[in-house]
Amino acid sequence: MPSTFMGISVAGSALQAQQTAMSVVGHNVANANNPNFHRQEAVFGARSAWPYLGANGSRVGQLGQGIDVTTVRRYQDQFVQNRLTDSRSALGQWQTGKGMLDRVVGVLNEPSDQALNNDLNQFWNAWQQLSLSPQNVPARNNLLEYAGNLAGSFNRLSTQMETMGRQGEQDLSGRVETINTLASRIAEVNGQIQQTLSSGAAPNDLLDTRDALLSNLAQLTDVTVRGSGGAEDIVSIGGHALVQGIHAEAVEVGKNASGQTAIIWKGDGSEATISGGEVGGLLDLTRNVLPSYRAGLDQVAGALISTVNGLHQSGYGMDHSTGRAFFTGSAAADIAVNPQLKGNPAAVAASSNGSAGDAGIALAIANAKTQSALNGATLGQAYASLVARIGSDAASATNRLETQTQVHQQLTTQQQSVSGVSLDEEMTKMIQFQQSYAASARVMNVMDEMIGTLVDRLGVGGR
């Protein structure tokens, strides 16, 4: 025989369960716009049934004893979550790449009438103009002016690219600090997750915090997470563990074996293999991309210097000087008009034989414009193809960023489809639980009346 008050306790368990479920709904609604939140659900389980004995002592069935919230479930798809982490790394890498390359393209400012290509054309034209009246001092001064502009443009481009590289390296150390902070935070949260688990509770919100930290980490570097999404997962960079349980490693900016800027593990001093994320992007830009652009610029400047100097040294100035270099320096960073010529326009060697009216050298230098100087291309063409290379790198970074943004959007949609909060759904549940609560209360009420019948109406003895 069940206890007289069993009905009340059954209804009581229902009231409690619906109320708990309603709290979970409230938590979901509260976090509907929290991007790191995974929706939760109160999972109901019937209490273990009680065997019901018939009048003759035979078992006739089981009596349910009500309901409990057995656990609060957290909705997540680990597969999508991992792909989202990878996608975040690629996103960080291309955001950095696009930002830097856009700046390089902006500095080049081609095609326009205010950039190096135009300075180069004006330089050649100034030699042509000098060839028309080789003794003309204003024409010589004009040439020196344009040559100075051209050298200045080379210097400026080279310096600006160098500065960008240095800024990139500075950015690296800031981001590496953030990696270390995130790693130790993850280890800390792992500890809290372990404690919660050992007390038998579901650490749902701590797991959200952990996923958010991981996502921020992935923005900075490519990470691999192995495990089932719990506190014991190994978070590693390039095969080297960064966080394992409550233990976190740290990295720092240093130099690798070949002397390049690299990210080094503080623990064993080995180089961290980072190819993605903002740090991966910055490493590629500062180590490979920017130096290759500067080398391309140096090639053009070097060929210009040797071509012009070779011709100029064979000519004669109005002051009969000969053998003088027109440009000093050997690369884009240090090309300059020979100081011996500055303020001394008569020393510009326009003449091929020493007679003042001859313009053989001026014409020869002017014609170097159309002669191949670098791998079969003229200097102008070589520079234009360098600009095209940089432009197409920037364009492809933009494309890849756009593609990656779309991929990320799709993955986020998939993730949200599983883990996101739908207010309509929560409202529906809210009505469901509200009505169940009301009904359970009604059951308790009736049960109370039934017991009341027994107590109050059966007689007046004992009153």
Partner 1 sequence: MRVTNQMLASQMTANVTGSASRMYRLQNQVASGKKITQASDDPLGASQSMNLRSSVSSVEQYQRNTADAKARLATVDASLNNLTRALQESKRLALAGSTGTVDDTQRKAYAEQLDQQIAYVIQEANTSYKDGKLFSGGATGASPIGGNPSLGTPYTYQGDDKVAQVQVNDTTTLEVGVTAKQLLNFDGATDPAVPDTLTVLTNLRDALKANDTGKTQAAMKQLESGLQNVILQRGKMGARGQQVELYASRLDDTKLALNAQVSNIEDVDLAEAMVQLQTEQNAYQASLLATARMSQSSLADYLK
**H or E, element range at 74:** strand 67-74
Answer for the pair 2, 54: CB distance below 8 angstroms, yes or no.
Answer: no
Nearest distance, CB of residue 240 and partner 1, angstroms: 34
Nearest distance, CB of residue 394 and partner 1, angstroms: 4
CA distance 31 to 38: 9
Sign of CA dihedral 347, 348, 354, 355: negative
Nearest distance, CB of residue 67 and partner 1, angstroms: 25
Write out the residues near partner 1 by the rule CB under 8 A: 32-33, 35, 39, 101-102, 105-106, 108-111, 113, 117-118, 120-122, 124-125, 128-129, 131-133, 135-136, 351, 353, 355-360, 363, 366-367, 369-370, 380-381, 383-385, 387-392, 394-395, 398, 409, 412-413, 416-418, 420-425, 427-428, 431
To which residue do tokens 């009048």 refer?
Answer: 55
Amino acid letter, 59:
R
Amino acid letter, 442:
R
Residue number with CB closer to partner 1 (229 or 391): 391
Residue number with CB closer to partner 1 (133 or 209): 133
Nearest distance, CB of residue 273 and partner 1, angstroms: 30
Residue number with CB closer to partner 1 (265 or 383): 383
Residue number with CB closer to partner 1 (17 or 366): 366
Structure tokens at 378: 């003229």
Nearest distance, CB of residue 92 and partner 1, angstroms: 19
Nearest distance, CB of residue 357 and partner 1, angstroms: 3
DSSP 276-295: SHHHHHHHHIIIIIHHHHHH
Structure tokens at 217: 């980490």
Residue number with CB closer to partner 1 (329 or 420): 420
Nearest distance, CB of residue 111 and partner 1, angstroms: 4
Q: Chain centroid to CA 312: how far?
A: 51
CA distance 63 to 200: 28
Residue number with CB closer to partner 1 (192 or 414): 414
Structure tokens at 386: 């360098």
Nearest distance, CB of residue 38 and partner 1, angstroms: 11
User: Coil, helix or strand for 205?
Assistant: helix
Nearest distance, CB of residue 368 and partner 1, angstroms: 12
Residue number with CB closer to partner 1 (28 or 224): 28
Nearest distance, CB of residue 161 and partner 1, angstroms: 14
CA distance 390 to 394: 6
Residue number with CB closer to partner 1 (319 or 456): 319
Name every residue whose Cβ is closer than 8 Å to that of residue 404 and which is 6 or more positions away in sequence. 87, 90, 91, 94
Residue number with CB closer to partner 1 (142 or 192): 142
Q: How many residues does the chain have?
A: 463
339 cis-preceded (ω within 30 degrees of 0): no
Amino acid letter, 72:
V
Nearest distance, CB of residue 18 and partner 1, angstroms: 17
Q: Are strands 251-255 and 261-265 parallel, antiparallel or unpaired?
A: antiparallel
Residue number with CB closer to partner 1 (110 or 298): 110
Residue number with CB closer to partner 1 (118 or 306): 118
Nearest distance, CB of residue 164 and partner 1, angstroms: 16
Residue number with CB closer to partner 1 (212 or 250): 212
Nearest alpha-carbon partner for 75 in 234, 229, 235, 231 = 229
User: Coil, helix or strand for 233?
Assistant: coil
8 burial via Cβ count (<10 Å: 0-12, 13-18, 19+): middle
Name every residue whose Cβ is closer than 8 Å to that of residue 29 and which is 6 or more positions away in sequence. 421, 423, 426
DSSP secondary structure letter of residue 334: T
Nearest alpha-carbon partner for 46 in 17, 25, 22 = 17
